[in-house]
Amino acid sequence: MILDVRNLTHYFDNIKALDDISFKIEDNSIISILGPSGCGKTTLIRLISGLEEIQEGKIYLHDNLVSHKKINLPPEERSISYVFQDFALFPHMTVLENISFAASSQKNKRQLIEQVIALAKIENFLTKYPHQLSGGEQQRVALARSIAVQPKLLLLDEPFSDLNTSLKKEIIDDTLHLIKSLESSAIIVTHNAEEAMFLSDQIIVINNGSIVQVGTPYDIFYNPKNSYVASLFGEINLYSTKVFDGYCSTPIGKIKALDFANGDNVDIVIRPEALILNKEKSPLISEVNGIVVDSKFIGNYAIVHMTVSDSIGEKFHMHSKVSGDFLPEAASSVSIELDTRHIFIFSRN
């Protein structure tokens, strides 16, 4: 066990930033802390790193107590490396000097520096200074400098947020291979669910300073605990209704509602992927159908905007995510089939 966080609660003035946070991380694993801005993600890893002093709770690294009310082991004594959102490279040092400084206390310094340079793919700009580098190059150098310390735990705070889309995919892929090549664990703070799924063995979902759900990317995606978690993976169609005789009536047909009582108020989350469309001629014969408002081509997929009506004729706007070669015209009719793997029912308080 590399990290054991127990009952962390933290305040800034009278505002509770973290509320009774507890989790564990196994050796050689990658964990993402996923949630929106202001939910407590950065506060959490600053406490883990030792940059912030604990108010309530305990933190253990390799079964050694490093933080509680009376103990705060300094960051340099925790075998932790922190990649800040702004990279925090030494501006007066070249790329090579930044990395050499980080590796200065290591016995195999020269061999380690050569290995880190190759792994991070930074051979071509070792003599440059940070201000001469692009965002992607700075990201690579920040990672290289962090692993040159040979940490047991690597912390990355929104490491890809300032990169453009095409570069981001390359850097994320290289980061994954880089971390996996080390004998260390990593915690990645992000608000991007796709990044979290690609990089992580497990995801810790946080909202308003509390842990909402912990699980593998597959579990979080297909078994979200509530509508907040379900919405992290892209836009959703949300419909509120009641349960009768084990079913919910919706504009897209009746949906089985297991484990709910008659009359329960529920929210139904319908991902766009759940709506499978087929072009139809008017007038429609199928029971579940919609009228296309617009179709937007987005490469491998398309988003179809459509109007659907419930049993009393009230109209609702919904989106369907379909194959990119399916682009029905505005005002045309479509029939709707359901992929229930992407439909979730939650109690509405």
Sign of the CA dihedral running 200, 203, 205, 209: negative
Farthest CA pair distance, the chain? 78
Residue 46 predicted with pLDDT over 90: yes
Of 100-104, 117-121, 184-188, 339-343, give the range with the top mean pLDDT: 339-343
Main-chain dihedrals φ then ψ at residue 64, nearest 5 degrees: -100, 130
Hey, is 68 helix, strand or coil? strand
pLDDT tens digits, 172-203 = 888 888 788 777 799 999 999 999 999 999 99
Question: DSSP label at 225?
Answer: S
Q: Give the angle 206-266-341 at the CA atoms, nearest 5°.
A: 70
The pLDDT confidence band at residue 87, using thresholds 50, 70 and 90, is low
Domain 3-231: give its CATH superfamily: P-loop containing nucleotide triphosphate hydrolases (3.40.50.300)
Instruction: Tell me the pairing of strands 202-207 and 30-34.
Output: parallel
What tokens does 277 get?
């469309």
- The pLDDT, as a whole number, for residue 84 is 75
Distance CA 233, CA 64 (A): 36
Q: Give the angle 120-121-125 at the CA atoms, nearest 5°.
A: 110
Distance CA 28, CA 94 (A): 31
How long a stretch of residues is the chain? 349
Q: Residues 6 or more apart from 271 whose CB is under 8 A from it?
A: 230, 233, 234, 236, 237, 321, 342, 343
Q: Give the angle 101-168-204 at the CA atoms, nearest 5°.
A: 85
Residue 253's closest CA among 342, 347, 335, 341? 335
Are the folds of 3-231 and 237-347 the same? no
Average predicted confidence (pLDDT) for the chain: 89
- The pLDDT, as a whole number, for residue 256 is 94
Taking each helix axis from N to C end, the angle separating 95-102 and 135-148, rounded to the nearest 10 degrees, works out to 20
- The pLDDT, as a whole number, for residue 287 is 67
Q: Has domain 237-347 been given CATH number 2.40.50.100?
A: no
Question: DSSP label at 325?
Answer: T
Residue 285 predicted with pLDDT over 60: no
Distance CA 263, CA 242 (A): 6
Distance CA 229, CA 100 (A): 42
- The pLDDT, as a whole number, for residue 311 is 76
- The pLDDT, as a whole number, for residue 347 is 93
- Burial class from Cβ neighbours inside 10 Å (0-12, 13-18, 19+) for residue 225 reads middle
Hey, is 252 helix, strand or coil? coil
Hey, is 212 helix, strand or coil? strand
Please report, for the chain, the start and end positions of each structural domain, with discontinuous segments joined by +: 3-231, 237-347
pLDDT tens digits, 309-327 = 877 778 999 999 999 999 9
Hey, is 32 helix, strand or coil? strand
Residue 146 predicted with pLDDT over 80: yes
